[in-house]
Amino acid sequence: MDKIRITGGQRLNGNIQISGAKNAALPLMIASLLTDETLTLVNVPRLSDVTALSRILSNQGVDRTVAGKRIGQSAESGQTVSLTARQITDTCAPYELVSTMRASFWVIAPILARMGEAKVSLPGGCAIGTRPVDLLLMALEKLGAQITIENGYALARAPKGLKGAEIIFPKVTVGGTHTALMAAVLADGTTVIENAAREPEVTDLAACLVKMGAKIEGAGSSRIVVTGVARLGGAHHAVLPDRIETGTYAMAVAMTGGDVLLEGARADLLQSALDVLTKAGVDISSTNEGIRVRRNGQALNAVDVDTDPFPGFPTDLQAQFMALMTRAKGTSRIRETIFENRFMHVQELARLGAKIRLDGDAAYVEGVAKLTGAPVMATDLRASVSLVIGGLAAEGDTTINRVYHLDRGFEALEAKLTRCGAEVERISS
């Protein structure tokens, strides 16, 4: 099993190209099941989650081709992937494929909408809370599907097709909104989704579905109206830049000091996180090329944060921000409102010398004068990169074990950091 070794203490200077968003690419790839024509996606990141989903889609009958890099492009420029589901050859997505990644469960919606039935294994993924699929299944039931759970599988049937309906989510759910959108676009009649997720990745999926011929109004707001159509066609769509990768590298620069241009990043996708970094004493500026992040010697200020659905502070940046606050002046409070078990990185940051006290859904982080390198263990995707941020500032060497979590969501992480002056090395087992 691979490890990453970091020798801390180096400032970051240079450019980092921001990849396409994993959390946008996955539902966009799944949307290819809605049509028998070709969906071409540009700027798809090279990640293990993308590879895993490609295997699942292949199992369902999706043909996949990947275009080569254009002259002058780096491996970090993203892939152009064409997906064609002329026929869905299997309406069952098996456990051995779905169990590796939670988002793969979303294939239930397009398979059901197009074929009238679907059998999908209950999902796996990072162990950061229960993250049940009950709201996803509720949305399908509102659209007329009959749902049963048997032997670890969700069976959905709608032999006469899905029917438009009102779906009111009791809480904001990105997965539920993705599922409702992909089911409703082929349903008969009008569907109204209330308390819909407003995340940019939802808006990106809706924009792609509209290019495919769907009729969607209100994406990006809490009320989305979908008028079903008989069929969808192919389209060409570029995946939006990854706001979580953007925030992660911004926090890495804030932690180490330096001056880095995050190429292709969009401030509107994570303004709340950028505002928090500004309060912490980091210089943030938007340019035509991306977002510039600078911290040249000034101390970090402790800042309190509550995670919230978009446009609030993202839960997917909570662990990274906690790592940053370990070096701030004073004590910060970080409250996690989305997932009930997303503090597993705390004990690993403590191995680097962090002082963190947990109290229910809140963590109190007392800034320390220095961190010291140590062996640590990644527990999930975002926790793993928080240890990278800690290691970049720690004295001596930090070795991060179980970095397969990193490969799920960060494209060419070692190369991007090394190019900016960090001492980062992957050690293959």
Look at 24-33, 110-119, 254-263, 397-406 and tell me which has the smallest mean pLDDT: 397-406
Does residue 72 surpass a pLDDT of 70? no
Domain coverage including residue 286 = 3-18+241-427
Q: Quick one: pLDDT at residue 404?
A: 87
Indicate the average pLDDT of the chain. Answer: 94
CA angle 278, 204, 403 (to 5 degrees): 65
Look at 93-97, 225-229, 414-418 and tell me which has the smallest mean pLDDT: 93-97
Q: Quick one: pLDDT at residue 128?
A: 35
Domain edge (last residue) among 168, 203, 238: 238
Q: How far is CA 53 from the centre of its chain?
A: 14
Q: Please state the three-class secondary structure of 216-246 as a single string.
A: EECECECEEEEECCCCCCCEEEECCECHHHH
115-151 per-position pLDDT tens digit: 999 999 987 544 434 447 899 999 999 999 999 999 9
Statement to judge: residues 210 and 226 lie in one domain: yes
Does the annotation flag 324 for ligand binding?
no
Q: Quick one: pLDDT at residue 429?
A: 75
Q: How confident is the model at residue 173 (pLDDT cuts 50, 70, 90)?
A: very high
Instruction: Kindly state the tokens that stand for 14.
Output: 């240079």
Active site residues: 126
Statement to judge: residues 164 and 311 lie in one domain: no
CATH code of residue 162: 3.65.10.10
Does the annotation flag 402 for ligand binding?
no
Does the annotation flag 135 for ligand binding?
yes
CA angle 358, 308, 166 (to 5 degrees): 135
Statement to judge: residues 189 and 285 lie in one domain: no
292-327 per-position pLDDT tens digit: 999 988 899 999 999 999 999 999 999 999 999 999
Domain count, the chain: 2
Q: How confident is the model at residue 69 (pLDDT cuts 50, 70, 90)?
A: low
Does the annotation flag 160 for ligand binding?
no
Distance CA 379, CA 339 (A): 15
Structure-token match 């509107």, residue found: 268
Look at 80-94, 126-140, 225-239, 380-394 and tell me which has the smallest mean pLDDT: 126-140
Does the annotation flag 23 for ligand binding?
yes
Statement to judge: residues 163 and 194 lie in one domain: yes
Question: What's the mean pLDDT in 383-411?
Answer: 93
Does the annotation flag 283 for ligand binding?
no
Q: What torsion do the CA atoms of 399, 405, 408, 412 make, to the nearest 10 degrees?
A: 0
Statement to judge: residues 131 and 255 lie in one domain: no
Question: What's the mean pLDDT in 51-75?
Answer: 83
Question: What's the mean pLDDT in 19-30?
Answer: 97
176-232 per-position pLDDT tens digit: 999 999 999 999 999 999 999 999 999 999 999 999 999 999 999 999 999 999 999
